[in-house]
Amino acid sequence: MKKALMTGITGQDGSYLAELLLDKGYKVYGLKRRTSTENIENIMHIKNEIEFLSGDLSDLSSLIQAVRASRPDEVYNLGAQSFVADSWPQPVYTAEVTGLGVLNMLEAVRQEQPGARFYQASSSEMFGKVAETPQRETTPFYPRSPYGAAKVFGHWITVNYRESYDLFACSGILFNHESPRRGIQFVTRKVTDGVARIKAGLQKELRLGNLEAKRDWGFAGDYVEAMWLMLQQKMPDDYVVATGKTHTVKNLVEIAFAHAGLKWEDHVVQAAEFMRPAEVDLLLGNPQKAKKKLGWEPKVSFEDLIKMMVEHDLKKYGQ
Ligand code: F7E
């Protein structure tokens, strides 16, 4: 039986990847941070099938112990301080977890289980102020947030460990990916949850930031398959994972409100507090390499993704 160790198991991607690996017959180990309140909603339905190990990306000794206890064939590093907006008020914490945390995990693997295959969750935020459009694996990075800068470090240290120590280390440069399990702060879920709350009469207004920002949004359930595929190849490599289509935040708002029979102009208010100190204006990925080499393709369209999320949230509020 193959064994996988995962960080970020309680997050959106961790929950979908854990489902996929359990389906494939893996034994799944999940690194779990100590928190004062439990946050395992996303994996409630599979929690008895996962073996949890206590640890934190900023504590190398805990990662070494986790690797020793699990002796994994595959390691997926999905844990991070992943909310871009919070990386300005918490830049050092973000650098420690999202950046140095990758190095800690690589060190634990190098010292204890160098034959394990390693996946790093890199991000389209590394492209930031984009040097070319669409963005591909060779597009230069220009991060626009402490989060993006930390991810650039995580990406290059992964490449460096592959080249220095011959680790089977891959980096997936994933563009935005969403689902009904997305955290409530991220714009897609904030909008679909807001639509449902408005429909249920719980609020009238939805306060948002920059409506002109463009993102390449896909479905998280599709994207975790690409992660797994990267670790099944003969050689380790880096891949862009994206849909190849881009939409504005305004597009997202229009689709979500219309799906619930609401007029967005009656509810959406632009608020300065949600504008970022430096914005990533446009992201659009070129997923050709993943298509060709991994045989990977996104299955869920942007419209269907937003509708899926609106319907989930409407149900949540009894609509
Ligand atoms: O923002 C704009 C905001 O917070 C998307 C993370 O998973 O994907 C995610 O990062 C856009 C930005 O995601 C609001 O300014 C407008 O332009 O949903 P988001 P993100 O920052 O793109 C990448 C790939 C990651 O790696 C990250 O971990 O939407 N926007 N108004 C807003 N965003 C938020 N959150 N809230 C607003 O009210």
Q: How far is CA 73 from the centre of its chain?
A: 22
Q: What is the pLDDT of residues 246-261, one digit of tens each?
A: 999 999 999 999 999 9
Residues known to be catalytic: 123, 125, 147
Same domain, 105 and 208: no
Give the mutation target among 16, 120, 145, 215 for probing the ligand 1 site: most ligand atoms within 8 A of CB: 215
Same domain, 26 and 122: yes
For residue 180, how many C-alpha atoms fall within 13 Å in the half-sphere facing its CB? 15
Checking if the pLDDT of 38 tops 90, the result is no
How many structural domains compose the chain? 2
Same domain, 100 and 30: yes
> Quick one: angle between helices 60-70 and 101-112, nearest 10?
40
Domain that holds residue 229: 3-177+218-241
Same domain, 224 and 262: no
Q: Which of 32, 36, 29 is nearest to 11 (CA)?
A: 32
Q: What pLDDT sits at residue 12?
A: 98
Same domain, 230 and 256: no
Same domain, 203 and 257: yes
Same domain, 30 and 151: yes
Same domain, 9 and 143: yes
Nearest alpha carbon, ligand 1 atom 31: 209
**Residue with the two structure tokens 């002796």:** 71
Q: What pLDDT sits at residue 269?
A: 98
Confidence of residue 37 (pLDDT cuts 50, 70, 90): confident
Same domain, 16 and 147: yes
Nearest alpha carbon, ligand 1 atom 27: 82
For strands 74-77 and 3-7, give the pairing: parallel
CATH code: domain of residue 233: 3.40.50.720
Same domain, 233 and 87: yes
Q: What pLDDT sits at residue 36?
A: 85
Nearest alpha carbon, ligand 1 atom 10: 84
pTM of the complete model:
0.98
